Structures are given as structure tokens and as C-alpha cells.
Amino acid sequence: MADEWARYLRQQAELGGREVIVGHRAGSSDQAAGRGTRDADPVEPAPPATAPTASRGLNAESGPADWRKGAPPIPGPGISVEPPTASMDEELSELATLEAVAAVVRGCRKCPLCEGRTHAVPGEGDPGARLVIVGEGPGQNEDQTGRPFVGRAGELLDKILLSIEVPRASAYILNIVKCRPPQNRAPLPDEIAACVPYLHRQLALLRPKVILAAGTTAAAGLLRTRKSLGQLRGQVHRYGDVPLVVTYHPAALLRNPNWKKPTWDDVRIARQLLDA
């Protein structure tokens, strides 16, 4: 935990930010940066409606600001990873549609997370989506409904997407793990290893134009790196030939509105890549 805390402070420093903690509970420092408690957190105070440093783009009450205004230039290249090839997972590569993958996910018992689930959450969206968002894993609301990002973090994600003129229904939303970890803890390496082949298969079927990785778990799972979120932001990574942008998890933004401004920059980079 001391490690996590040090990493958090380092990320703050990298962002040039003051250390600001909003609704931060003792003993949960591991969730400070980039990672989400995935909603339904009764201890969490409501975030201020507008934070002084947060961007208008992600806070606007009267319709989103024009994302083009002051958008950062597209940054240089970061990490490149090759997605697994079909021959590496023959069983999954036989699944020809997203619905077929979802059906297997719903019956999956490949890791212990199956024990605690109400519903698996395979993901949802427009099968022709050009933008795919990858989160961490289901929280309580998602587990109850079987749908990704439907709690408070989900509402914020919807707003973020609208701010770059990508209505949620035209995107596709996926997670690193498809079943809810107990107490909304981060998924463990073994759980990620068991589940991530589904994500790779879904991405192979979707063939998006841009991937947005929300939070440390998504970034680490897709890019197979242990770099911090602060180190991964501000670069365009590659997943095969698909550009991948890393940003904060919406649940992290609920706790720390200071991260809204950098997130607004990140998603505007992703938005430009959609047009590129």
C-alpha cells in the first residue's frame, strides 16, 4: 500500500497538480489514481457540481463545450502491443459474433469471480462502433443489471462521451474482467489473465478505429505494462494497428475533479484520432 501511495503522489506530481483528495477513505489509497471503486459507494460524498480547475467541457450544464477549441495536438507514439492471434486461442477465435462471445461469458467459470456474480457483464454498444472504451470490471449496479457502466461512473462516462460528440449508443463499452470483484476491489492478475482473452476476441470482432483505456487496470491489461497512468497519458499507444489512448477512470474523476481537465484533454486526443 505504501507503494501505491507513493505512486499516487508521483502521478500527482507528474500532472503538475497539488495533492488533492476528494472523498478519499482511509485505507483505500490504492484506489486513488486512475482506478475506480466502480460506483455504489455509500461512503463517497457527492462531488462538487463544478470544481474550480475542472474543465467546462466535462462539467457543462448547458450542453458540452466545443471539443475542438483548445484541443491538444495529437501526441507522439508510446507502447505498441500485438494482440493475440487467432491461433493462440482457437476456442475463442471460433466465436464469430459479439453475441456468441457474450453467451460464453455469461456461462463462464474460468475464474473465482464467477462465484460472486449476479450477472456477468460482457459489454454493450454499437457493433459497428469506431470508439471502444475499456474499463476495469463490473461494480454493483453492473452486476445487478448485466450492463457496463450504469452507475454514477457510468453517468459521468456518458457525459464525457457526449462532450466529444460520441453518444454512448454509438460507442462500444467493454471491461477487462466481466464479473464483479468482491467489494469492488481491483481484479487480481490471475482473474485478468483468465478473462482478458474475451476482451481480445471482442476487439478482434469490433475492429475499432480508436480504443480508450479508462484507468490503470484497463491500460495495464491492454498494454501489458506496469507503468503508471501518469506515464501512459499523453502518448498514442498501439494495439495492433489501432491507436489506444489512456485516461483516468470515471470513478477516479468522481473522487478527484482535478483530473477532469487532463481527462478532457485525453478524450479530445482520442476524438481527433477518430477523424484522422
Residues in the site for ligand SF4, rule: CB under 6 A? Answer: 105, 108-111, 113-114, 120, 177-179, 191, 194-195
Q: Shortest gap between Cβ of 103 and ligand SF4 (angstroms)?
A: 12
Binds 105: which of ligand SF4, ligand URA, none (CB < 5-8 Å by kind): ligand SF4
Q: Which position among 32, 153, 219, 246 is part of the footprint of ligand URA (CB under 6 A)?
A: 153
Binds 177: which of ligand URA, ligand SF4, none (CB < 5-8 Å by kind): ligand SF4
* Closer by beta carbon to ligand SF4, 118 or else 170: 118
| Contacts (Cβ under 8 Å, ≥6 apart) of 62 | none
5-44 positions binding ligand URA, by CB under 6 A: 36, 38-39
* Closer by beta carbon to ligand SF4, 35 or else 260: 35
Cα–Cα distance, 172 to 125 (Å, whole number): 4
Binds 111: which of ligand URA, ligand SF4, none (CB < 5-8 Å by kind): ligand SF4
Q: 140 with 40: CB under 8 angstroms? A: yes
CA neighbor of 160 nearest in space, from 75, 268, 232: 268
Cα–Cα distance, 118 to 114 (Å, whole number): 9
Q: CA torsion angle for 21, 22, 25, 27 (degrees, to 10)?
A: -30
